[in-house]
Amino acid sequence: DAEITQSPRHKITETGRQVTLACHQTWNHNNMFWYRQDLGHGLRLIHYSYGVHDTNKGEVSDGYSVSRSNTEDLPLTLESAASSQTSVYFCASRQGGLTGELFFGEGSRLTVL
């Protein structure tokens, strides 16, 4: 069965360190997204990609970057982790078309000390 996997599921890091969260999907979807989920907020879009070598900023992109070298993977990098980036991160993918369902990974819980 097709799936979307994230790693690591849990990570603790220190302020200032670089962190990369991996996302891998086998749906063969062109569209991939990274969200963060915090208490009191809905899921907020960090970055998204419509295909290989395409990346775009979302509403909360400061301090994050992504790259898309193939269809399956969209790693999220925190260049210099800050305590405000402590959150649960979700990767998602969807097929084209306005009614396409978002398929989410299981999430990566990041704690920045």
Give the SS3 label for residue 107. coil
Alpha carbon 65 to its chain centroid, in Å, reads 10
Question: What track of x and - describes contact with other proteins for positions 13 through 42 (by CB under 8 A)?
Answer: ------------------x-x------xxx
Side chain identity, residue 60: V
Q: Which is nearer to other proteins, 12 or 50 (CB)?
A: 50
Q: Which stretch binds other proteins (CB under 8 A): 16-24, 61-69, 73-81, 103-111?
A: 103-111
> Measuring CA to CA, how many Å separate 6 from each of 15, 35, 84, 89?
22, 12, 21, 9
Q: Quote the CA–CA distance of 12 and 43 in Å, as a whole number.
A: 21
Q: Which residue has the tokens 């062109």?
A: 30
Told to check if 54 binds other proteins by CB under 8 A, we report no
Which of 58, 67, 71, 75: binder of other proteins (CB under 8 A)? 58
Q: Is 56 in the site for other proteins (CB under 8 A)?
A: yes
For position 99 contacting other proteins by CB under 8 A, the verdict is yes
| φ, ψ (nearest 5 deg) of residue 85 | -95, 5
| Sites of contact with other proteins (CB under 8 A) | 31, 33, 40-45, 48, 50, 56, 58, 90, 92, 94, 96, 98-102, 104-107
